[in-house]
Amino acid sequence: AGTEEDQKFCLQEVLDTFKLCLSENKEVYLEQYVAGWRKLIKLLNSLGSVFGFISNDAVNKIHILVAHLNGENGSQYVTVQSMVKYELENELVDLTKRGGHPESGCRTLLRLHRALRWLELFLGRLRTSSEDSKTSVMCSESYNESLSQHHPWVVRKAAGLAFCMLPGRPAFFEVMNVGPPEQVVAKLGEGLPLISEVYQITEELYTQHNLMDLP
Ligand code: 1PX
């Protein structure tokens, strides 16, 4: 058995989960958002232990959000929108410097939200890549354009070293478990708009509430 994080990855499942993230009126369900990340972490774990420090941080953040979801105020955490409203109205967010709420849902989700932008860029590059493109280059370009801006030097350095250990494009496509390369490319084309939409909705919500720089 093992934990969900150990089981086999399939790109289709990730895409399905991100599809389930959006409610009819375009709110983002936190439970599905977290489930999407859990599945991505499965893939990351299957790539080897050099990615352990990345996976540990992501798992830690997921656990914080799950604790909110399962906590006594869990009903306030059904969507990202309700979470933001609840935490802000009840002053449960450290807005300018770290203080009494180091594990607010808002600041925790913001870290994953920034990582989602990396994912969007990376999957976009994978989709349009040619057979001889390097995954490590696509990954670090995507990282440099997004997440890295929020990381200190030492994290950027460690991430850069880890990227060099990524399997090549053929092996990477294999790991996604959705058939031959053409099919992976097609699936990515199908799934990327969903991920972009979830990203965009969260981005607008956070901008609107001035939450883009939560410590
Ligand atoms: C189909 C392809 C899918 C590939 C799946 C890969 C899943 C990757 C999951 C990455 C999640 C990263 C979350 C990072 C959150 C973060 O920015 N945390 C930092 C800030 O947190 P704090 O609480 O201190 O404010 C924290 O300092 C992070 C430390 C860990 C290093 C983060 C490096 C992130 C690199 C992201 C690229 C992943 C490369 C995966 C290669 C496939």
pLDDT digit string, tens, across residues 130-151: 999 999 999 999 999 999 999 9
We report the CATH number of the domain holding residue 82 as 1.10.3520.10
pTM of the predicted model, to two decimals? 0.95
Q: What is the mean pLDDT of residues 53-68?
A: 98
Calpha distance 176→134 (Å, rounded): 16
Calpha distance 110→105 (Å, rounded): 8
Q: Beta-carbon neighbour count of residue 173 at 10 Å?
A: 23
The answer to whether position 97 is within a domain reads yes
The answer to whether position 19 is within a domain reads no
What does the pLDDT read at residue 1? 45
Q: Which of 103-107, 110-114, 177-181, 202-206 has the lowest mean pLDDT?
A: 177-181
- Is residue 190 over pLDDT 80? yes
Residue 42: φ, ψ to 5° = -55, -45
User: What mean pLDDT is reported for the chain?
Assistant: 95
What domain count does the chain have? 1
Q: Beta-carbon neighbour count of residue 132 at 10 Å?
A: 7
Nearest to 43 by CA among 34, 51, 33: 51
Name the residue with higher pLDDT: 39 or 7.
Answer: 39
Nearest-CA residue for ligand 1 atom 17 is 111
* Interface predicted TM-score (ipTM) of this complex, two decimals: 0.97
Pocket of ligand 1 from Cβ distances under 6 Å: 11, 40, 43-44, 53-54, 57-58, 111, 114-115, 118, 139, 143, 147, 155, 159, 166, 176
The answer to whether position 95 is within a domain reads yes
Q: What is the mean pLDDT of residues 42-54?
A: 93
Report residue 166's pLDDT band, with 50, 70 and 90 as the boundaries: very high
The answer to whether position 74 is within a domain reads yes
Range of the domain at 155: 9-14+25-208
Gap from CA of 123 to ligand 1 centroid (Å): 15
The answer to whether position 141 is within a domain reads yes
